[in-house]
Amino acid sequence: MTEIKISELLNKDKAGKIYKIKGWIRTARQSKNITFLEINDGSVINNLQIILEEKNIENYESLLDDLTTGSSIEIEGLLIESPAKGQEVELSASRIKIIGKCPSDLYPLQKKRHSFEYLRSILHLRSRTNTQGAVVRIRSTLSFSIHKFFQERGFLYIQTPIITGSDCEGAGEMFRVTTLDLANIQKNDEGLVDYNEDFFGKQTFLTVSGQLNVEPFCCSLGNVYTFGPTFRAEKSNTSRHCSEFWMIEPEIAFAGLKENMELAEDCLKYIMNELLILREEDLNFLDKWVENGLITKLKNIVNKSFKHITYAEAIDILANSKQQFEYPVFWGTDLQAEHERYITEKAFDCPVIVTNYPKEIKAFYMRLDDDEKTVSAMDVLVPGVGEIVGGSVREEREDVLIRRIKEMNLNIEDYIWYLELRKFGTIPHAGFGLGFDRLVQYSTGMTNIRDVIPYPRTPKNALF
């Protein structure tokens, strides 16, 4: 007899044979001679209905007490076309074995709908819910599709370090990595912490971005990407910020803003298209229960062109809108979430790529435009989430880069190796960071980023 996943069983072609499945009871409806179980094994959002009839099962009555929500079981039975509405097939059980009991009075997941806040306190059980099951499967599919997209285009996957000595974004939002005894810190003659005594003999941090470390590979091997965890000690308690998140960062050689924008749009179109094909059931579920219109939204990503505007145009749109913003709008200000959402939701209702931001509000490595006021940056904004991609052309002129590092009060000594990429055979190149967790948020319609990350880390919160 074949042991099989429920995802493969749930269509009529499979009926008429005996199968074995293993999973967890979602619901049990018992009566004297017959019991209906809904079993989920994680392979698909839908449950398999099991019919247990007293006449077919040995010790039927003695099993009943243990057939509770949450118990794990193994079942063998004949798959039949279902006479009832709601499912195409069901399994008529001939043998059942309880693997792990689940005391219903203690089980934190009851049959009702639990709030997302409550579920965040039981992360170890959260993935047993329908919504989380869908989110986790979508997360996995998106991750694989991203690798596929870049691999098919010949990009090399580079593993950049998690522990680093350089602050890529220059925003000073880094978590320190140290083995110094915090209760007994050694100071040097100048009264400063002596990092010579630290594990690496210098100050080190968790990376905020793999970009600086991936650029050398772009400047030697051509198109590359990195996809890994990044960390930011920013105290933003919002629905789209996490202290630990994953980022996809491609870097394209001999390329400028146009190629960069095309790559970001192609990438999003490709992965959304794959998702619509591979995760249809999960998306249907989320469209019904989490975000009405989710599927249409994702199809629009695939089928419609993204809108392109400059930062200056974005400021004009915001300044001329009737909406009252909390943060004032003027040329030079950083776009806040409310501004980004107005542009992508109200002004256009589609993904919008905003380019050429003022240099003061962007990182030192972004290429200075000829007006010397703006840089060749590009952010992709999407409805609901706002900024999902941030990227730029990189400053490839050594003298301009030195000037920018100094202007931004960064320590030039830290960037000697980065400057050498410009000294020795420099090339125009560009790249971006696609925030993976915001992508999952967007693709699932979940409103809070904490609900799409297996173990979310936010200020004052690192459960499990």
The binder of ligand 4AD chosen from 167, 387, 395, 451 (CB under 6 A): 387
The binder of ligand 4AD chosen from 136, 146, 389, 401 (CB under 6 A): 389
From the list Mg ion, ligand 4AD, none, partner contacted by residue 438 (C-beta under 5 to 8 A by kind): ligand 4AD
Nearer to ligand 4AD, 150 or 245 (CB): 245
# chain residues binding ligand 4AD, by CB under 6 A? 23
Which long-range contacts link 326-334 to residues 24+ away (Cβ below 8 Å)?
331/358, 332/358, 332/360, 332/361, 333/361, 334/361
We find the least distance from the C-beta atom of residue 365 to ligand 4AD, in angstroms, to be 8
From the list Mg ion, ligand 4AD, none, partner contacted by residue 90 (C-beta under 5 to 8 A by kind): none
Nearer to Mg ion, 390 or 445 (CB): 390
Residues 195-234 vs ligand 4AD: string with x where CB under 6 A?
Answer: --------------x-x--------------------x-x
Nearer to ligand 4AD, 219 or 388 (CB): 388
Can residue 437 be called a binding residue for ligand 4AD (CB under 6 A)?
yes
Select from 39-47, 179-187, 193-201, 425-433 the region that touches ligand 4AD (CB under 6 A). 425-433
Question: In this structure, what is the dihedral angle of CA atoms 206, 256, 404, 399, given to the nearest 10 degrees?
Answer: 120
In the structure encoding, which two tokens stand for residue 134, read together?
Answer: 């869908």
Can residue 241 be called a binding residue for ligand 4AD (CB under 6 A)?
yes
The binder of ligand 4AD chosen from 388, 393, 421, 446 (CB under 6 A): 388
Can residue 450 be called a binding residue for ligand 4AD (CB under 6 A)?
no
Nearer to Mg ion, 91 or 247 (CB): 247
The binder of ligand 4AD chosen from 170, 383, 435, 445 (CB under 6 A): 435
The binding site for Mg ion (CB under 5 A) comprises 390
Nearer to ligand 4AD, 242 or 301 (CB): 242
Residues 145-184 vs ligand 4AD: string with x where CB under 6 A?
Answer: -----------------------xx---------------
Residue nearest to Mg ion (CB): 390
Can residue 245 be called a binding residue for ligand 4AD (CB under 6 A)?
yes
Can residue 432 be called a binding residue for ligand 4AD (CB under 6 A)?
yes
We find the least distance from the C-beta atom of residue 388 to Mg ion, in angstroms, to be 10
Q: Are β-strands 89-100 and 48-53 bridged in parallel, bridged antiparallel, or unpaired?
A: parallel
We find the least distance from the C-beta atom of residue 449 to Mg ion, in angstroms, to be 15
Contact 265, 232 (CB under 8 A): no
Nearer to ligand 4AD, 212 or 294 (CB): 212
Instruction: Identify the CA nearest to 256 among candidates 437, 394, 132, 151.
Output: 394
Nearer to ligand 4AD, 383 or 390 (CB): 390
We find the least distance from the C-beta atom of residue 455 to ligand 4AD, in angstroms, to be 14
Instruction: Identify the CA nearest to 96 among candidates 49, 48, 42, 59.
Output: 59
Can residue 390 be called a binding residue for ligand 4AD (CB under 6 A)?
yes
We find the least distance from the C-beta atom of residue 172 to ligand 4AD, in angstroms, to be 13
From the list Mg ion, ligand 4AD, none, partner contacted by residue 265 (C-beta under 5 to 8 A by kind): none
Can residue 133 be called a binding residue for ligand 4AD (CB under 6 A)?
no
Q: Note the residues at the interface with ligand 4AD (CB under 6 A).
A: 168-169, 209, 211, 232, 234, 241-242, 245, 247, 249, 387-392, 431-433, 435, 437-438
